[in-house]
């Protein structure tokens, strides 16, 4: 009996949670046309550390209308919208006893400073990136003269000429998430918890920030004097780092922050902060009808030090892709439990009498799932148990014949300087593996996905209560002055006249169904619609790596063998598989060596495997050389930034570690004459990056930089990463 009660309790909680989102269409009524401003004030003379007046407010500016977007004129508008969106979720939160603590804040202005001159760099490696001209965030950067390494809360500035640490930047309690280095400026992106004064009150007393909210800071330093970096700008925006890119002199930082509501009788809403003050409501835009996070974008010009900030109410994004003109965020989503209830009950109505069916459909339209359960249970109570089981079985079979797959939503933004505009969104079946599963191709966008199908299934519990109180006798032991007797006592009032009660408790769950399949979609950027696709590639397998080279997309899928697919996209409306190559193992990362050769880094039978493929004829690809390193793995398998290609020496540098710590260092693999050959191992414990400057290779770990000659591979220097004194 206890187990049945627990099931019903959890089912009731689930039902309450599942009604979240039903009120969302009503929320649209609270949204108004948005105007957006570029919030800046004139530059000021840069002090060593930027400070801002505590009573500053956002300046005015020329407003630009965002076509097709809905936004908020006031914080009250935002509160009304999110109150509707999150009302059901708040009820569940309060039911489960969750408490959130908040700090009140008020708006603040942005102060800006001027930049410094650009330097030229010698021959030097750059971070391995997907798109030429679009740099990606990493913890090691170099420009041929300076090597910057971020380790936790310290940034080490190393002179490559002097081979020593010349300065250290201490971020205090913050944790560095990565760096950019360009034109004599170092851009440091870091996270820390917000610590705000409770004395700050906004004008409508409706803004609240959860205690401990993650804040992402951006510091821009001048390295004109590497021994004394000068802080030119310090700015921040709330949320954890999703990703960041740099193109030209502009940095685009994307963060994500959960939409939270304070547990209070007076509605309060969390909003993104810019420089620890709430973003103006005109800069906050609703994109999704069922948002769960603020997706925040900070666009910064490191030369002028002007910046803009935007917030979009969206779903959570997993991957970022960017070209110099567009920014894409991919958010994968699966069938939600609420959607499963709607699909299941909608199918069930086909097996109900018309009056009951209409009652259920009307309740679904109102989002009243409890009413649906009540109506269905009342009808089922007139049937025999076997008849109910037969109906449920038929509905579940019907649902299995119409499986529902997961999908990925792509949010598209146009960028021009520090101006960011929302271009729209589109969705495709399946989910993307990583950023290499999506790429622009002229006026088209290509997305490769793996689909996991699922279906809604109905389960039921039959609950039966006793018909009346029991009639009979009970046994008691009565003791008086130490003398005890056993007696029997009659029960009275046993005939209450209550009828026997029973009901069916229905609940819906999501079940996986069928095999995985892989897909390729081509989307027109003119109207963000899918113009063609290839679906159902390699059933039962999933995508392990992808790379678009000109008009040919190369895909690696895996289950037991490693098919390398070549897919011709030269005619976007008619993509076709040109050929595929099956070899043992799989490749986690693909890198073009030239137009005819493709390098794969992967695994076969637990061994690190490096493969060289001839792709000169995509219809007849071949594996022409391979190297396997037993009992080892490489960070390249999960982080493409760890891969370094040195075309001058026709070599690649791969950090490698052996299981059991037998060896650790950077593997130097030559690919000259289309033959893979291991030239040697640059021994360096826990090394995770390798860069080159001139004719020297620098390997980087958490405590040390080692220097090697690129020709002889002999060690020629050591640079300990220690605090500068």
Q: What is the Cα–Cα distance from 321 to 548, expressed in whole angstroms? A: 13
What's the pTM value of the predicted model, to 2 decimals?
0.76
Q: Is 248 helix (H, G, I), strand (E, B) or coil?
A: coil
DSSP class of residue 315? P
Residue 31 confidence (pLDDT): 30
What span, in angstroms and rounded, lies between the C-alpha atoms of 372 and 624?
Answer: 63
Domain ranges of the chain: 21-119+183-316, 466-500
Count Cβ atoms within 10 A of the Cβ of residue 553 and give its class: 0-12 exposed, 13-18 middle, 19 or more buried: buried
CB atoms under 10 Å from CB of 121, counted, come to 17
For tokens 């008691």, name the residue.
Answer: 476
Identify the pLDDT of residue 491.
55
| Helices 354-366, 337-348: crossing angle, 10 deg rounding | 160
Model pLDDT, residue 478: 61
Give the chain's length.
725
Tokens of residue 93, six digits: 């939160």
Collect the ranges in the chain with pLDDT lower than 50. 1-68, 88-121, 197-200, 493, 496-498, 725
In whole angstroms, give the CA distance from residue 241 to residue 257: 9
Helix (H, G, I), strand (E, B) or coil at 84: helix
Query: Are 191 and 215 in contact, with CB atoms under 8 Å apart?
Result: yes
Give SS3 for 148: strand
Give the integer Cα–Cα distance in Å for 699 and 36: 46
In sequence order, which residues have a C-beta less than 8 Å from that of residue 725 and are 6 or more positions away?
none
Q: Residue 272 in contact with residue 296, Cβ under 8 Å?
A: yes
Q: What end-to-end distance do the CA atoms of the chain give, in Å?
A: 71
DSSP code for 264: S
pLDDT at 69: 57
DSSP H or E stretch at residue 463: strand 453-464
Structure-token pair, residue 380: 């089922």
Percent helix / strand / coil, the chain, rounded to 5: 15, 45, 35
DSSP state of 194: -
d(CA 632, CA 328): 35
Query: 531-540: long-range contacts at Cβ-Cβ below 8 A with a sequence spacing of 24 or more?
Result: 531/444, 531/572, 531/573, 532/572, 532/573, 532/574, 532/575, 533/428, 533/575, 534/567, 534/575, 534/576, 534/577, 535/429, 537/565, 537/577, 538/563, 538/565, 539/515, 540/515, 540/516
Q: Is 567 within 8 Å of 551 (Cβ atoms)?
A: no
Handedness of CA 167, 171, 172, 175 (dihedral sign): negative
441 is written with which tokens? 């191709």
| Average pLDDT value over all residues in the chain | 79
Q: Is 533 exposed, middle or buried, given 0-12, 13-18 or 19+ CB atoms closer than 10 A?
A: middle
Nearest residue to 379 via CA among 404, 359, 393, 361: 359
- Cα 474 to Cα 491: distance, rounded to the nearest angstrom: 7
Query: What pLDDT is stored for residue 503 in this prediction?
Result: 64
CB atoms within 10 A of CB 136: 21
Please state, in angstroms and rounded to a whole number, the distance separating the CA atoms of residues 681 and 660.
17
Is beta strand 689-693 parallel, antiparallel or unpaired with respect to 696-700? antiparallel
């Amino acid at each position: 009996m206890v187990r049945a009660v627990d099931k019903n309790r959890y089912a009731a909680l689930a039902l309450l949670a599942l009604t979240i989102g039903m009120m969302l269409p009503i929320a649209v009524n609270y949204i108004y046309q948005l105007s957006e401003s570029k919030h800046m004030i004139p530059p000021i003379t840069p002090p060593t550390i930027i400070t801002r007046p505590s009573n500053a407010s956002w300046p005015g500016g020329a407003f630009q209308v965002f076509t097709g977007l809905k936004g908020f004129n006031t914080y009250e508008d935002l509160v009304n919208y999110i109150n509707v969106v999150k009302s059901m979720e708040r009820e569940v939160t309060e039911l489960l006893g969750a408490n959130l603590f908040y700090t009140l804040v008020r708006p603040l202005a942005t102060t800006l400073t001027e930049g410094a001159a650009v330097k030229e760099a010698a021959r030097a490696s750059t971070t391995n990136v997907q798109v030429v001209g679009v740099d990606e965030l990493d913890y090691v950067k170099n420009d041929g003269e300076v090597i910057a390494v971020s380790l936790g809360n310290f940034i080490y500035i190393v002179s490559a000429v002097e081979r020593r640490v010349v300065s250290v930047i201490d971020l205090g309690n913050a944790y560095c998430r990565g760096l950019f280095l360009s034109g004599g400026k170092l851009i440091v992106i870091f996270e820390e918890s917000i610590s705000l004064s409770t004395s700050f009150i906004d004008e409508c007393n409706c803004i609240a920030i959860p205690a401990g909210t993650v804040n992402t800071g951006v510091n821009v330093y001048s390295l004109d004097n590497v021994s004394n970096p000068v802080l030119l700008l310090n700015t921040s925006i709330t949320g954890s780092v999703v990703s960041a890119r740099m193109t030209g002199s502009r940095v685009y930082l994307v963060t994500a922050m959960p939409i939270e509501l304070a547990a209070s009788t007076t509605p309060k809403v969390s909003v993104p902060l810019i420089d620890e003050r709430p973003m103006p409501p005109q800069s906050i835009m609703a994109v999704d009808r069922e948002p769960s996070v603020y997706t925040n974008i900070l666009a910064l010009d490191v030369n002028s030090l002007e910046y803009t900030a935007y917030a979009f109410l969206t779903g959570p994004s997993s991957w970022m892709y960017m070209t110099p003109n567009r920014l894409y965020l991919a958010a994968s989503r699966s069938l939600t439990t609420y959607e499963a209830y709607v699909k299941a009950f909608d199918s069930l109505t086909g097996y109900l009498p018309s009056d009951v069916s209409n009652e259920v459909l009307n309740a679904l339209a109102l989002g009243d799932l409890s009413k649906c359960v009540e109506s269905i249970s009342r009808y089922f109570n007139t049937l025999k148990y076997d008849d109910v089981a037969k109906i449920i079985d038929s509905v579940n079979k019907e649902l299995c014949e119409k499986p529902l797959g997961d999908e990925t939503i792509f949010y598209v933004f146009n960028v021009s300087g520090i101006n960011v505009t929302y271009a729209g969104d589109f969705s495709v079946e399946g989910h993307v593996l990583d950023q290499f599963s999506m790429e622009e191709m002229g006026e088209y966008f290509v997305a490769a996905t793996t689909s996991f199908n699922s279906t809604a299934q109905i389960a039921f519990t039959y609950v039966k209560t006793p018909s009346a109180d029991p009639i009979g006798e009970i046994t008691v032991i009565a003791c008086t002055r130490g003398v005890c007797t056993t007696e029997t006592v009659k029960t009275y009032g046993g005939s209450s006249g209550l009828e026997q009660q029973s009901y069916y408790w229905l609940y819906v769950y999501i079940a996986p169904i069928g095999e995985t399949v892989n897909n390729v979609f081509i989307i027109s950027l003119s109207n963000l619609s899918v113009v063609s696709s290839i679906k159902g590639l390699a059933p039962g397998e999933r995508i392990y790596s992808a790379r678009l080279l000109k008009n040919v997309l190369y895909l690696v899928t895996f289950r037991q063998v490693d098919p390398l697919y070549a897919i011709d996209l030269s005619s976007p409306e008619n993509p076709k598989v040109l050929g595929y190559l099956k070899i043992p193992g799989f490749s986690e990362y693909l890198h073009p060596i030239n137009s005819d050769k493709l390098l794969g880094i992967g695994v076969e039978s637990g061994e690190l495997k490096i493969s060289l493929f001839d792709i000169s004829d995509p219809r007849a690809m071949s594996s022409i050389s391979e190297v396997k390193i037993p009992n080892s793995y490489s960070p390249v398998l999960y982080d493409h930034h760890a891969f370094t290609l040195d075309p001058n020496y026709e070599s690649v540098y791969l950090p490698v570690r052996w299981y059991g710590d037998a060896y650790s260092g950077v593997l130097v693999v030559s690919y000259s004459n289309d033959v893979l050959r291991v030239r040697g191992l640059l021994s360096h414990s826990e090394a995770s990056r390798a860069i080159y400057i001139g004719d020297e290779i620098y390997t980087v770990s958490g405590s040390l930089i080692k220097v090697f000659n690129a020709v002889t591979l002999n060690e020629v220097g050591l640079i300990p990463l220690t605090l500068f004194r």
